[in-house]
Amino acid sequence: MVKERIAYRICPKCARAVPLESKETFCSNDGEKLLESCPSCQNPIISPYTRFCSNCGTELRSK
Ligand SMILES: [Zn+2]
Ligand SMILES: [Zn+2]
Protein backbone atom coordinates (compact mmCIF):
# COMPACT_ATOMS: atom_id res chain seq x y z
CA MET A 1 0.00 0.00 0.00
CA VAL A 2 1.53 3.25 -1.09
CA LYS A 3 0.39 6.13 0.98
CA GLU A 4 0.83 9.54 -0.52
CA ARG A 5 2.85 11.74 1.76
CA ILE A 6 1.72 15.31 1.69
CA ALA A 7 4.14 17.82 3.06
CA TYR A 8 3.43 21.38 4.10
CA ARG A 9 5.04 24.71 4.53
CA ILE A 10 4.19 26.44 7.73
CA CYS A 11 4.33 30.08 8.79
CA PRO A 12 6.54 30.56 11.87
CA LYS A 13 4.50 33.59 12.87
CA CYS A 14 0.83 32.64 12.57
CA ALA A 15 1.21 28.85 12.02
CA ARG A 16 -0.68 28.98 8.74
CA ALA A 17 0.03 25.86 6.68
CA VAL A 18 0.01 25.48 2.91
CA PRO A 19 0.66 22.31 0.91
CA LEU A 20 4.21 22.08 -0.39
CA GLU A 21 3.01 21.84 -3.98
CA SER A 22 1.24 25.19 -3.79
CA LYS A 23 4.56 26.99 -4.45
CA GLU A 24 3.67 29.60 -1.87
CA THR A 25 6.84 30.61 -0.09
CA PHE A 26 5.65 33.59 1.92
CA CYS A 27 2.67 33.81 4.26
CA SER A 28 -0.21 35.75 2.75
CA ASN A 29 -1.26 36.90 6.23
CA ASP A 30 1.93 38.55 7.38
CA GLY A 31 4.63 38.15 4.74
CA GLU A 32 6.79 35.81 6.80
CA LYS A 33 8.89 33.29 4.91
CA LEU A 34 7.27 29.88 5.28
CA LEU A 35 9.26 27.01 6.78
CA GLU A 36 9.57 24.05 4.48
CA SER A 37 11.09 21.76 7.09
CA CYS A 38 12.35 21.82 10.65
CA PRO A 39 15.07 24.51 10.92
CA SER A 40 17.28 22.33 13.10
CA CYS A 41 16.92 18.79 11.68
CA GLN A 42 15.27 19.33 8.25
CA ASN A 43 12.46 16.93 9.13
CA PRO A 44 9.61 17.56 6.65
CA ILE A 45 6.37 19.04 7.96
CA ILE A 46 3.72 16.43 7.31
CA SER A 47 0.85 17.84 9.35
CA PRO A 48 -0.78 21.23 8.79
CA TYR A 49 -1.24 21.52 12.57
CA THR A 50 2.41 21.11 13.42
CA ARG A 51 3.70 23.40 16.15
CA PHE A 52 6.75 21.40 17.19
CA CYS A 53 9.03 19.19 15.14
CA SER A 54 7.99 15.57 15.63
CA ASN A 55 11.59 14.47 15.27
CA CYS A 56 13.59 16.83 17.50
CA GLY A 57 10.98 18.83 19.40
CA THR A 58 12.07 22.21 18.09
CA GLU A 59 9.31 24.78 18.21
CA LEU A 60 8.55 25.87 14.66
CA ARG A 61 6.89 29.11 15.66
CA SER A 62 9.18 31.98 16.32
CA LYS A 63 7.97 34.42 18.94
ZN1 LIG B 1 1.77 33.95 8.80
ZN1 LIG C 1 13.46 18.92 13.97
Q: Is the pLDDT of residue 56 over 90?
A: yes
Q: Is residue 20 part of a domain?
A: yes
Residue 6: CB atoms within 10 A of its CB come to 13
pLDDT band at 1 (very low <50, low <70, confident <90, very high): low
Domain of residue 25, residue span: 1-50
pLDDT digits (tens, 9 = 90+) for 13-53: 999 999 999 999 999 999 999 999 999 999 999 999 999 99
Q: Is residue 56 part of a domain?
A: no
Q: Is residue 61 part of a domain?
A: no
Neighbours of ion ligand 2 (CB under 5 A): 38, 40-41, 43, 53, 55-56, 58
Q: Is residue 59 part of a domain?
A: no
Give me the phi and psi of 44, to 5 degrees please. Answer: -65, 155
State the Cα–Cα distance between residues 53 and 27, nearest whole angstrom: 19
Q: Which ligand is nearest to the CA of 42?
A: 2
Residues 6+ apart with CB under 8 A from 63: none
Neighbours of ion ligand 1 (CB under 5 A): 11, 13-14, 16, 27, 29-30, 32
Q: Is residue 55 part of a domain?
A: no
Q: Is residue 63 part of a domain?
A: no
**Number of structural domains found in the chain:** 1
